[in-house]
Amino acid sequence: MIEQGKTKKQDTKLFNRRILEISGILHVNRFDSEQFLLDTELGFLHVKGQNLHIKSLSLEQGTIHIDGIINSLQYMDEASTNKSKNILGKLFK
């Protein structure tokens, strides 16, 4: 949980659509080789691509590095998050 008064921060770096580095990670909700659903300090982030895998993950530092072909990054608000979790839940079964 973020302390009151603390500024929320989240950085995203994409290198040649092959390496994705993200800070401000709170939790990795779901992932497979084609998509990730990440809970970040600024909301849920849905990453889509091909041959995706975690190169490194540190929840203590709040960082993740993902390798693969990155096709899209999409932030979701609270209303769409619940719908997306249901849809992703069906996809990941």
pLDDT tens digits, one per residue of 63-84: 999 999 999 999 987 655 555 5
The DSSP code sequence of the chain is: -PPTTPPP---EEEETTTEEEEE-EEEEEEE-SSEEEEEETTEEEEEEEEEEEEEEEETTTTEEEEEEEEEEEEEE-HHHHHHHHHHHHHHH-
Q: pTM for the whole thing?
A: 0.76
**CATH top class, domain 12-88:** mainly beta
What percent of the chain is predicted at pLDDT more than 90? Answer: 70
Residue 24 pLDDT level (bands cut at 50, 70, 90): very high
Q: Is the pLDDT higher at 23 or at 87?
A: 23
